Structure 1
């Protein structure tokens, strides 16, 4: 995301998704182990605070499509 869709600011902070112990972190599980979690990246506008979440890998989107 290059600019905020709400206010147009280019001050956008990218917070990478991760999978931690016991399912913590920003992720979506698609299997039974921590190795089968899909990270969800957050984008936060530094000007207005608007947030969005994205799955950045096309392969991960396909994994979710097959699961759900």
Structure 2
């Protein structure tokens, strides 16, 4: 994939990601699911383990929020 295409996609997606991160959250989530995916990456000529975590909350109206 072309580097300039990746840069264009990233430039369009980042404002949306920042807006999503700053959204207001409910004070109470009666149900919360936590999960992670573990993977290995190369960093400074070494293979290290990393994890990406996700939390899904179900609000008082029964809607899921990530």
Category of TM-score, reference length = shorter chain: 0.3 to 0.5
Please tell me whether Structure 1 or Structure 2 has the larger radius of gyration of its CA atoms. 2
Give 1 or 2: higher strand fraction: 2
Q: TM-score, normalized by length of structure 1?
A: 0.33
Give 1 or 2: higher helix fraction: 2
